[in-house]
Amino acid sequence: MDYPKTSRVALVRDYDKGVELDELPVPPLVEGAVLVRVEAATGCGTDVHIASGGLRHSPTCKLPLVLGHEAVGRIVALGADRVTDVVGKPLREGDLIAWASPWCGNCYWCAVAHQPTLCVNANLYGFGPADQFPSLTGGFAEYVYVHPRSAVVHVPEGLSPALASSATCAFRTVVHAFETVGQLRPTDTLVIQGSGAVGLYATAYATIMGIPQIIVIGAPSSRLALAEKWGASTTLDVEHSTPEERRQIVLDATDGRGADIVSECSGAVPAFAEGLSLARRGGKMLVIGAADPRPSSVSATNFNMRQISVTGSISADISHFWRAFQLLTTYADRFDFDALLGNTYGLGSVSDALVSLEAGEMKPVIVPHTA
């Protein structure tokens, strides 16, 4: 495959103008870098926030930016010394791969705390800036320039590019979060707040891990039906119940104690306070979905008198990508994971994809190399 000179991209230059189709030069390949041709990308709720300027005050968002942080692509060219993926499999032109953020490896969070997802020196894929090397860092583009510091892993044979893409933010984030919260017990009751892709992936993960009682709070009913298919023992429609009713149902299901773990996967501001009210004394609150910086009012006595511990988790490293891919292939017969995918869009229709995502469509699939 010839090394391309330019790449069409879905670019955000100005939050007032939204997403525009543009073209950027492809930087020359440096040692360790990989140029990939995007095979499929998928939309995440965060893309809607990024494109609309909801994260304009976040230091991670840097205009101009090529949008899209869930994607997989086929190798066009490999920089010198990029020989294998993280499990030792040789990398070859045409291979389908995924890539993690380019953690620096040298800051306090990378090197001392061993919490690389908090690295202060990484420019995250899909967050810009497109005016600095390597510029082609968003998945809603013909090509992505994988940074020399980014770990990469093969997408397993048989896994569709669109489904693999959906694991490169939503599922790997769930895998990382549940690893962070610690041991799950086969006697636990888990409440999952949210029935979007993150909540549904969390439901599948909990089922795989043998959690017998999974209560999913969300909407609409079609997603709750999917949650039940994937192992939820009870589903509660957030649009047709009150927090008091939901709390009572959780208490009734747990002999009056409350849930051992509550996992916030919704991003809704009131979910955190409600989640604490659903956790048992001594239980755990796992925050995955929160993206809205507005405060949530809760009593600090939840954390001493009721001894609830709160764990937060952001993003994931390449081990979680690999585990997410393994789960998608190992449990393909148990879960119809494709149900998480919505309609397919070309690169010129990214705005339409984001509108439909916001309107409640499942994950839109962006296929950049279609008309």
Binding site for Zn ion (CB under 5 A): 44, 46, 104, 107, 110, 119, 121, 169
- Residue with smaller CB distance to Zn ion, 123 or 193: 123
Report, in Å, the least distance between residue 66 CB and Zn ion: 15
Cα torsion 202, 207, 211, 213: sign: positive
Report, in Å, the least distance between residue 70 CB and Zn ion: 6
- Residue with smaller CB distance to Zn ion, 68 or 231: 68
Distances 339 to 6, 195, 200, 256 between C-alpha atoms, Å: 34, 13, 10, 35
- Residue with smaller CB distance to Zn ion, 162 or 169: 169
Report the distance separating Cα 211 and Cα 200, nearest Å: 14
Please compute, for residue 361, the number of CA atoms within 13 A of its CA located in the half-sphere on the CB side. 19
Q: If you search the block for the tokens 């409640």, which residue do you land on?
A: 360
Report the distance separating Cα 185 and Cα 65, nearest Å: 42
What are the phi and psi torsion angles at 53 (to 5°)?
90, 10
Report, in Å, the least distance between residue 207 CB and Zn ion: 22
Report, in Å, the least distance between residue 51 CB and Zn ion: 13
Strand 143-146, strand 65-66: pairing: unpaired
List the structure tokens of 102.
């380019």
- Residue with smaller CB distance to Zn ion, 38 or 236: 38
Report, in Å, the least distance between residue 118 CB and Zn ion: 8
- Residue with smaller CB distance to Zn ion, 46 or 165: 46
Report, in Å, the least distance between residue 106 CB and Zn ion: 6
What are the phi and psi torsion angles at 143 (to 5°)?
-130, 145
- Residue with smaller CB distance to Zn ion, 66 or 110: 110
Question: Closest Cα to residue 171, out of 341, 299, 300, 18?
Answer: 341
- Residue with smaller CB distance to Zn ion, 60 or 301: 60
Report, in Å, the least distance between residue 115 CB and Zn ion: 9
Question: Closest Cα to residue 315, out of 151, 158, 141?
Answer: 151
Report the distance separating Cα 115 and Cα 103, nearest Å: 10
Report, in Å, the least distance between residue 187 CB and Zn ion: 32
Cα torsion 299, 301, 303, 306: sign: negative
State the CB neighbour count (10 A cutoff) for residue 111: 13
- Residue with smaller CB distance to Zn ion, 49 or 280: 49
Q: Which residues pair with 96 in a beta bridge?
A: 74
